[in-house]
Amino acid sequence: MTTDQDLPMDHQSATALFAAKGIDVTTNKDQGVIKVIKRAGVDGDRPMIGDKVMVHYTGKLVTGKKFDCSRERKEPFCFHVGKGQVLRAWDIAVLSMQRGEVCTLLCKPEYAYGAAGNPDKIPPSSSVVFELELIKFEGEVLTGDGGIVRRIKVKGEGYTNPNDGSIVNVHLEGRCGDRLFDCRDVSFIVGQAEDKSIPLGVDRAMDKMQKGECCLLYLKPKYGFGSEGKPEYKIGPDKDIVYEITLKDFQRAKDSWEMDLKEKLDLSAEVKSKGNQYFKAGRYYQAVIQYQRIISWLEIEYGTGDMQQKKIQDYILTSHLNLALCFLRLKEFTQAVDNCNKVIELDENNEKALYRRGEARLRRNEFSLALADFQQVLQVNSANRAARAQISICQSKIKEHHEKDKKTYANMFQKFAERDAKTGKTKRRRDDSARTSVNGEVSIKQRRRSQECPS
């Protein structure tokens, strides 16, 4: 059914032929998408909603006329299934497929290009035929470092998601390998899941979920229980874990635009206290969430008087300074520098910001820049003994770095000299050889001339 010869010529006969050989994969069984399997896939898992899938496809009208083909472009097509990024027929059919499966689909207009069709390719209200091959699929990556991967088992409802500060009611099941270590109904505040012994990865996935959604979250140690593990759950250090989460209900926190300045300032005091609590407990990622909330509320606010404006600026400065300290602890030195720069833009002689930027730069091996920061700290406060000690370290590192450079260049120049000497010897040998050859030829020619001359 994928060649021009064996495709039917009208919708009615196409439906009859596909119905006889295939299955209706639509939810309401209206024969909107009928699938015929040409090659069975690998037994096992199927894509879930939100998975990134890779397919090859060929699209034809029921007359057999081809209108699109990924193979001719020699490039598979990728999309997130079940997210409305492609034709409805594709979203439905791909969720029913297994890895490696090849199938042919007959798709009614309402599941394909609709009443309008596609200009120059698909006539209005046309059924179409697709051959699909599911090459591979993987879960939806929620973080830049791949530490949280989501696979949706049941799609949620509506278009709103929890935000930081929302109260969520969830059912969760946590597994390490095949072992179930946590199973409960629980409520928590997004951004503060740590208080209920729920890992960071679950907390950070909440703002991607909708009410009623059930998903699997695959968490790397950074987003699970880290290098410490979780003794109460008998989980050792640096373990990957999986949570199945059902978001039963939630109450969103107010967005920034819904609060007046007084509300933001009052809430900032609470959130700052919570952030400091997490920092002291060594929960730096959780502390980061709190300090970032304060900045998101206040960074574009202006007070009605000097006192209120000073309060806003104090919260912003303190939050950036605390973020810099968190990122130093997390060894994310670029982020630490960025937050120090934000403080220095507002207060160029801020002692803490200069010192912490110097620390971050030192850890990034930017010794000269770090030295300049620590020297500026002493200009602000000559009694800062820590900065003085760091200056000695920077000077030592710079000297060490210069010594390494000298050795590197000395070795490099030595190699160049040896190479040049070797090249010179070779050249001299060639010259000597050439001279010997020339002298020999001259001698022979002279003997020939002497023999040819009259005696």
Q: What was the pLDDT predicted at 445?
A: 46
pLDDT category, 414, cuts 50, 70, 90?
A: low
Question: For residue 274, how far is the Cα from the chain centroid?
Answer: 28
Residue-averaged pLDDT of the chain: 90
CA atoms of 22 and 24, how far apart (whole Å): 7
Asked whether the predicted pLDDT for residue 8 surpasses 80, the reply is no
Structure-token match 């020297």, residue found: 375
CA neighbor of 94 nearest in space, from 154, 60, 137, 156: 137
Residues 173, 183: contact at Cβ < 8 Å? yes
Asked whether the predicted pLDDT for residue 446 surpasses 80, the reply is no
Torsion, CA 337, CA 339, CA 341, CA 345, rounded to 10? 180
Asked whether the predicted pLDDT for residue 349 surpasses 50, the reply is yes
* Domain residue ranges in the chain: 11-138, 148-251, 256-396
pLDDT category, 437, cuts 50, 70, 90?
A: low
Asked whether the predicted pLDDT for residue 436 surpasses 80, the reply is no
CA neighbor of 223 nearest in space, from 143, 164, 291: 143
Task: Kindly report, residue by residue over 250-269, the tens digit of the pLDDT.
Answer: 999 999 999 999 999 999 99
Structure-token match 């064996």, residue found: 6
Asked whether the predicted pLDDT for residue 193 surpasses 90, the reply is yes
Of 15-19, 259-263, 403-407, the range with the lowest mean pLDDT is 403-407
Cβ within 8 Å of residue 305, ≥6 positions away? none
pLDDT category, 447, cuts 50, 70, 90?
A: very low
Residue 107, SS3?
strand
Asked whether the predicted pLDDT for residue 428 surpasses 80, the reply is no
pLDDT category, 195, cuts 50, 70, 90?
A: very high
**Average of per-residue pLDDT across 180-207:** 97
Instruction: Give the other-Cβ count within 10 Å of 258's Cβ.
Output: 9
Beta strand extents in 252-295 (DSSP E only): none
Asked whether the predicted pLDDT for residue 137 surpasses 90, the reply is yes
Q: What was the pLDDT predicted at 415?
A: 66
Q: Could you tell me the pTM of the whole model?
A: 0.80
CATH architecture of 148-251: Roll (3.10)
For the domain spanning 11-138, the CATH number is 3.10.50.40
Tokens at 186, concatenated: 């629980």
Q: Which has more confidence, 447 or 382? A: 382
Task: Kindly report, residue by residue over 280-311, the tens digit of the pLDDT.
Answer: 999 999 999 999 999 999 999 988 889 999 99
Residue 234, SS3?
coil
pLDDT category, 439, cuts 50, 70, 90?
A: low
pLDDT category, 49, cuts 50, 70, 90?
A: very high
Asked if the domains 11-138 and 148-251 are classified in one and the same CATH topology, the answer is yes
CA atoms of 60 and 90, how far apart (whole Å): 14
Asked whether the predicted pLDDT for residue 110 surpasses 70, the reply is yes
Share of the chain above pLDDT 70, in %: 87
Q: What was the pLDDT predicted at 412?
A: 66
Residues 199, 193: contact at Cβ < 8 Å? yes
Asked whether the predicted pLDDT for residue 440 surpasses 70, the reply is no
CA atoms of 67 and 76, how far apart (whole Å): 16
CA atoms of 252 and 156, how far apart (whole Å): 16
pLDDT category, 3, cuts 50, 70, 90?
A: very low
CA neighbor of 151 nearest in space, from 55, 249, 25, 52: 52
**Average of per-residue pLDDT across 88-112:** 96
pLDDT category, 21, cuts 50, 70, 90?
A: confident
Q: What was the pLDDT predicted at 435?
A: 58
Residues 210, 159: contact at Cβ < 8 Å? yes
Counting every residue written for the chain, the total comes to 455
**Average of per-residue pLDDT across 371-400:** 96
**Average of per-residue pLDDT across 178-201:** 97
Share of the chain above pLDDT 90, in %: 79
**Average of per-residue pLDDT across 124-148:** 95
Question: At the fourth CATH level, which superfamily is domain 256-396?
Answer: Tetratricopeptide repeat domain (1.25.40.10)
Question: What kind and span of H or E run contains 70?
Answer: helix 70-73
